A and B are shown apart, each in its own frame.
Chain A
Amino acid sequence: MNLLKLNIVIIISIFLYSCVANQNTRDASLYKVPVNDFSRTVELLIANKEFLESEIMKINALNPSIQRIILGADDFLRKENYPKANSELERAFRLTKSEGALYLRIAHLRYKQGLLKESESFASRGLLLGNISSWERLLLNVYLKN
């Protein structure tokens, strides 16, 4: 009986270890962007708007409910239906003010609408958030350069 219990414990331990070992650390905040590469990356993003947009759309919200709204907004953004994209993003902003993904989207939307000063202001506002990753920070900086 004791041997059986021991086996169960060993199997569970192996299972837990394998789960932990296989975890892929995808947290964007762990990606460090070296200072030297920072400006070069920003320049690259500025030069290629499609690349920039695809990078923006890869940034997910921390809250799944907000992410669902963001997906809808992205869809409208791709179809260049800016009023509806804006409407969805504002809807998300009413639920939370602490998602870097939202500031990125709205800065990008304003940029696409040609409202460059507003785009910059939204990016600056996003940079005040305490919980954004360094990649989000870098992307927000693109709109300050624009």
Chain B
Amino acid sequence: MLGEFTNSTLWQIALLAFGQAFLSVGLSLLIGIPIARVLFTYHFRGRGFILALVTVPFVLPTVVVALGFRSLFGDAIPNGLLLVVLAHAYINIAVVVRLVGAQWATLDPRMEVTAATLGANPFRVFTTITLPSLRNSIVLAASVVFIFSFSSLGIVVVLGDGSSTRTLEQVLLRSTSVLLDFPAAFAAAILQLVVVSLVFVISAQLSRDEPRATVVLERKQISGRKPIIFVTLTCLVAVIVVLSPIASILWSSISSSGGFTLQWWSDLANTSNIRIGSPIDALVRSLGLALGTAVISAILGGAIAIAVMSKKGFVVTLALIPLGISAVTLGLGILLAFSRGSLDLRGTGALIPITHALIAVPIVVAVATPSLRNVDPRRYFVALSLGAAPMRAWWTAFGTVFGGVMLAAGGLAAAVSLGEFGAATLLSRTDAPTVPVQIARLLGKPGESEFATAAVLSVILIIISMTLLLIVDRIASRKVFT
């Protein structure tokens, strides 16, 4: 297997992916930072709506985003590096806005005023005071975007040109599912893991060792002509950027070369398109897998959250490790682990929900642990002192919060499963694809009906994902949760 590391193609692909991820980081920061400034330092009507809107691309399945870009740009921008970088930036705006914005909200605006009174012009204030003060969150956001883009799969499969946009994740998938070249797959997985780990190490090195401000300051009202123009333009650009690909998918699902039509929606139930499988079957399958993933993740993640809720930070970090491993690598690991003897689950259909649960469990732990830690543990002892048995006392103290958290976390896990593409491509049987796999297959075929059917499935996925997230958001904003 070591010989695989002397394969120059592998290194070439790693280098290409590195360059692509670097460009994706640059564009994400360029778009995300002004939006973070507007949404986290100014107070205005509609702010919450725009913040929710810029989060949407991050929760959309990657193949749906890819379809949106293909549909939006048509032949204007051919498949290739530019389209891949644009799509990555689109998905990751939310990462930059949320991470950088959260730190921006704690920066005292008088710091910038002080710099200005010392003679610094606005550009100098921004480059010498504002940006360096945001350094830790910018480094973190850049690392996350880099890792997502470096190990991208759905976007590069649909929007890539097959040469300049290749990623190690693609090599991994192709080696395992087409070429059956496992040494090559392991080499790609290990190289990818090394790069991801290096990014984490470099990110930690670049982060500044200084006390972290945690007090969120009151956002300022917009006054003056320049701030009004800046805020209005930034919000307008954010809304247009986020909605354009989604609107484009919607339009593709209700139009044909002859104009408006609902034919693609009414044809959905037809199984005539049997060569790539029935879309309805794929939808039912995906929903079943999402439900399975939600149940497994909530049980496993809930148990881990209870176990680590009173432990130190690094124990929680251990539970979060799978977040740094790509979906295809996890899928490959599960495939190998459950393909022998009595543990052979390949024919049972359980491999996908197990892999999706492995992806989702860290998210469940990350969501549940802080909420459980927020509950005053003295409630438990009060219940015990009133004569409740330990289990009943625990449930009295933590039960309401735990129930809410598990519902929310299960919803998140289901959303992750619905949109996941890499592991599902590896583990799906040819005749039993999930919806994202089905969409990618449809996009790989020429023809108007294939493209439109992919658009219809994408619209359905968008609606289900957004509904799940709205429910999660509603549960999360309930008082008992905080």
Q: Is B one of A's binding partners? A: no
